[in-house]
Amino acid sequence: MSTRIQAAATAPVAVADTRDPVVLLRDVRRIYPGHPPVRALDGVDLQIDPGELVGIVGPSGSGKTTLLNVLGTLDRADAGVVRVDGYDVEELSDRQLSAMRAHRIGFVFQQFFLSPGVTALDNVADGLLYTGLAQRNRRARARRTLTRVGLADRTHHKPHQLSGGQRQRVAVARALVGQPALLLADEPTGALDSASGAAVLELLHELRDTGTTIVVITHDHGVAAELPRQVHILDGRIESDERTAER
Amino acid sequence: MTATSTPPASRLRGRDTVRVAFSGLRARPLRAVLSALGIAVGIAAMVAVVGISASSREQVNDQLRQLGTNLLTITPGQQLTGGEAKLPPDSVDMVARVGPVTAVSAIGTVDDASVFRNQHIPEEQTNGLSVNAARPDLLDTISGTVASGRWLDDALAQFPTVVLGADAAERLGINRTDGSGQVWLGGEWFTVVGILDPVPLAPELDSSVLIGWPVAADLLGFDGSPTTIYERSDEDAVDDVRAVLPATANPDHPEEVSVSRPSDALAAQAAADETLTTLLLALGGVALLVGGIGVANTMVIAVLERRSEIGLRRALGATRAHVRRQFLGESVLLAGLGGIGGAALGGVVTAAFAQTRDWPFALPVWVLAGAAAATVLVGAIAGAYPAARAARMPPTAALATV
Ligand SMILES: Nc1ncnc2c1ncn2[C@@H]1O[C@H](COP(=O)(O)OP(=O)(O)OP(=O)(O)O)[C@@H](O)[C@H]1O
Ligand SMILES: [Mg+2]
């Protein structure tokens, strides 16, 4: 509790910004119990504004996935303030967090997690499954989103009929179809060769240009260098936060 | 800046819940079929048991409707001193005089007469077949039918001719009724002129051979006392008739006379089968239980295997309740598919069995409703624990694939 008060005191919320930040972390801690306990996040402060494309970079075990889980409300911080899309995560129930993920947050995973035996179209439409939208509307929006990621001609292909890069683009489309305020990608290029990885990154850049807020986790400095903002994390702490000149 | 409102709730439509539950089964069709099979066997067994017993009961009812329940049989009974009682020879006519009586006939056992395939078989070697004199109107009164040949009419009744009961014909090894078959009866050759179908209302006739009343008296010294009188009356007068029959048939010793209603015995026999039905039903229940355990096992494995799917669904916005409903739905669907298959199988078995026995097909609707309810219940119980486990899984753990 004291950490939260302190956090609020040391870092007054940036009211100056006309637009509310999509992500606001203040002294966030996540400690996995054990012997010894692991401080996966050890006092993280982070603010991400709408439309930003942010890379989270760090070596293996530095706490990137833990950070992403906290940002995505899949996991709760042990201490600190986590505010996503204007909601204080601490105050929301499990059901409300689910609602956040259904409507406001999109995920892309390293292993894609597409449903086997289900067409690209329906995999993407599943991104809207828990919004209560009717299947017809889900499919219509999925079709538009697949077109957006350049897979208009692959709607009825099943995951095993797609290349790795195409699969990841389907996964991106599924994360995007609900027009989330925040798109979180954990090593989206980790399972891809460099060409496919570059294509996926290119896609993320394009999305960013249309105003989607995107957080990409990577341990690949080459990938990170391409991103307009890089947050370096080490042992659960933010080491540096750099913005490169806009492309 | 602190949000006071909350985001709109996650929502999974009912139709989508079913779709999602079904997609889980479709992903592993063989496994789904095999575990549904366990349920199907249990349901099929239960449906078939009930269906077969219902068909059998229906058959008895049909038979009773056809044969009528207004037949009473009168037998002499026992003397108070212990010996065999006798009905007076004119008792048949006296019964016929009772108002509501519509038909009367009788048989009289010819004592000391035995029947054999030929004369070389020693007299002591009895074969359990009784020789009875029969009145010509017997067949109509008991609703009997001739399987082959003809019945003893007034003319044939004068001559040494014989009609065999169904069992008697089989035991004597005779199936010809063209006049070429003969039996050695009470020291005379009798020509076989007919063979009866089994008589449900008078099964004692199945193991007897029937000869004419006059020829029995002339050749075999039959004394003319009936040993069984068969009587039919108006259906609603049966009880009244029954009350006066003893005094009518044997006015001197009405207390000795015994009257029975063969249709009661038939109905009682059908009811006796019910114990067996209950036992078989219980066995079907055990099979269903085993099937339910199979479904539970399948679901536990499914939840373990599909951790990442569960995590993904939570990331897509599913609440714990949505995940629970998905797996519960999958379990109920699995059991339900087994139930439908089992009910169909049970129906087919019942129909096939009824067909071979020449029974009418009867499958009460409550059996199908009960089977449906049972499978839903089994599915829900089997899926409850795995579904709760899936719902409890933290999303991060479910996504952390190793
Ligand atoms: N469930 C857990 N229980 C205990 N410790 C954990 C758990 N998950 C992660 N950790 C620890 O927390 C630290 C940060 O883990 P995290 O997964 O966030 O790293 P990462 O930066 O994503 O690494 P990588 O690049 O290898 O994916 C690691 O030291 C890890 O061992
Ligand atoms: Mg990681």
pLDDT 10s digits, B30-67: 999 999 999 999 999 999 998 988 888 888 888 888 77
Q: What is the mean pLDDT of residues A148-172?
A: 93
Beta-bridge mates of residue B400: none
A148: tokens are 């957006």
Continuous H helices in B210-306: 213-220, 238-249, 262-305
* Best probe residue, ligand 1, of A31, A38, A69, A237 (max atoms within 8 Å of C-beta): A38
Of A92, A130, A174, the CB nearest to B10: A130
B178-234 per-position pLDDT tens digit: 878 888 887 888 888 889 898 888 888 888 888 888 888 887 888 888 888 898 888
Of A15, A86, A130, the CB nearest to B318: A130
CATH number, span A2-242: 3.40.50.300
DSSP code of residue B253: -
- Residue A159 in contact with partner chain B when CB distance is under 8 A: no
Q: How many CA atoms lie within 13 A of A40 on its CB side?
A: 19
Say how far apart CA A87 and CA A81 lie, in whole Å.
Answer: 10
A23: tokens are 């992500």
- Nearest chain B residue to A175 by CA distance is B316
Q: What is the mean pLDDT of residues A224-234?
A: 92
Largest interatomic CA distance in chain A:
55
Cis peptide, bond prior to residue A36, ω within 30 of zero: yes
Q: Which pLDDT score, from 0 to 100, does residue B275 have? A: 77
Rg, chain A, Cα only:
18
B335-376 per-position pLDDT tens digit: 999 999 999 999 999 999 999 988 889 888 898 899 889 999
Whose alpha carbon is nearest atom 6 of ligand 1? A32
pLDDT tier for residue B94 given thresholds of 50, 70 and 90: confident
B186: tokens are 């009470």
Q: How many CA atoms lie within 13 A of B225 on its CB side?
A: 12
Percentage, residues of chain B above pLDDT 90: 33
Q: Which pLDDT score, from 0 to 100, does residue A246 have? A: 58
B376: tokens are 């839903």
B316 pLDDT exceeds 90? yes
> What dihedral angle (degrees, nearest 10) is formed by the CA atoms of B90, B93, B95, B99?
-150
* Best probe residue, ligand 1, of A28, A30, A31, A32 (max atoms within 8 Å of C-beta): A32
Domain ranges of chain B: 14-64+267-399, 70-110+225-260, 113-134+141-221
Query: What stretch of H or E contains A202?
Result: helix A194-209
B26 pLDDT exceeds 80? yes
Partner-chain contact A88 B318, CB within 8 Å: no
B14: tokens are 């009912």
Establish, for the pair of chains A and B, how many residue pairs have beta carbons separated by less than 8 Å. Answer: 115
Beta-bridge mates of residue B130: B208
Atom of ligand 1 nearest to the CA of A59: 25
Give the length of chain A: 247
B3 pLDDT exceeds 70? no
A18-54 per-position pLDDT tens digit: 468 999 999 999 999 999 999 999 999 999 999 999 9
Of A13, A109, A130, the CB nearest to B317: A130
B198: tokens are 């089994």
A58-102 per-position pLDDT tens digit: 999 999 999 999 999 999 999 999 999 999 999 999 999 999 999
CB B157 within 8 A of CB B212: yes
Beta-bridge mates of residue A24: A47, A83
Cα(A39) to ligand 2 centroid in Å equals: 15
Largest interatomic CA distance in chain B:
123
List Cα–Cα distances, A216 to A29, A128, A173, in angstroms.
20, 22, 15
Helices (H) and strands (E) in chain A, counts: 8, 10
pLDDT tier for residue B5 given thresholds of 50, 70 and 90: low
CB B70 within 8 A of CB B238: yes
Cβ neighbours of B273 (radius 10 Å): 14
Q: Which pLDDT score, from 0 to 100, does residue B2 have? A: 46
Q: Which pLDDT score, from 0 to 100, does residue A245 have? A: 67
CB B129 within 8 A of CB B209: yes
Say how far apart CA A52 and CA A62 lie, in whole Å.
Answer: 22
- Regarding the beta carbon of A186 and ligand 1, being less than 6 Å apart is answered no
Determine whether domain B70-110+225-260 maps to CATH 3.30.70. Answer: yes
Per-chain residues with Cβ under 5 A from ion ligand 2: A 65
B319 pLDDT exceeds 60? yes
A12 pLDDT exceeds 70? no
- Rounded to two decimals, the pTM is 0.78
Domain ranges of chain A: 2-242
